[in-house]
């Protein structure tokens, strides 16, 4: 089984932070794998800092845990809503991150990954959650 943590990082204007990776198509929430000895929240904070330079400064809200069987039959992703955060300067684009940008809820890029778009609908529009990514 694999476990990842991703963050729906939302700013005061209601925009959400999405990233585009250099190794796969589409726009996704920033995040990554949970390492040995990490909690989900610790992994989320580490990944946000490493990938885009975002520091979590308050509590996060677990939106849900979703099964992503299209990638691997044992893959699960925990998605957190992050509203209390800051960054210094521009979003970092380190390593695998080709691009990082804030998007208004109704101005998401056409290439927003299907599971990411579904989570955004759930968070912003109170659409009932599904268990599959």
Cβ atoms of 68 and 133 within 8 Å: the answer is yes
Q: Quick one: pLDDT at residue 77?
A: 96
Q: Which two tokens stand for residue 113?
A: 């990954």
Residue extents of the structural domains in the chain: 2-125
Cα torsion at 112, 113, 117, 118 (round to 10°)?
A: 170
Q: H or E segment at 97?
A: strand 97-103
Q: Quick one: pLDDT at residue 92?
A: 61
* Stated pTM of the model: 0.93
Give the tens place of pLDDT for each residue, 100-115.
Answer: 999 999 999 999 999 9
Q: Quick one: pLDDT at residue 73?
A: 83
Instruction: Please give the CATH number for the structural domain made up of 2-125.
Output: 3.90.79.10
- Sign of the torsion formed by the C-alpha atoms of 23, 25, 31 and 34: negative
Point out the residues of the chain with pLDDT beneath 50: none
């Amino acid at each position: 089984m694999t476990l990842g943590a991703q963050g729906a990082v939302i700013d005061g204007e209601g925009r959400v932070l999405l990233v585009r990776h250099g190794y796969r198509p589409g726009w996704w929430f920033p995040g990554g794998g949970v390492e040995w000895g990490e909690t989900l929240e610790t992994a989320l904070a580490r990944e946000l800092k490493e990938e885009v330079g975002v520091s979590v400064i308050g509590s996060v809200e677990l939106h849900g845990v979703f099964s992503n069987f299209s990638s691997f039959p044992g893959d699960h992703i925990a998605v957190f809503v992050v509203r209390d955060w800051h960054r210094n300067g521009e979003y970092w684009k380190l390593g695998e991150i080709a691009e990082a940008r804030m998007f208004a809820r109704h101005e998401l890029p056409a290439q927003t990954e299907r599971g990411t778009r579904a989570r955004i609908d759930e968070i912003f529009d109170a659409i009932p959650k599904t268990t599959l990514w």
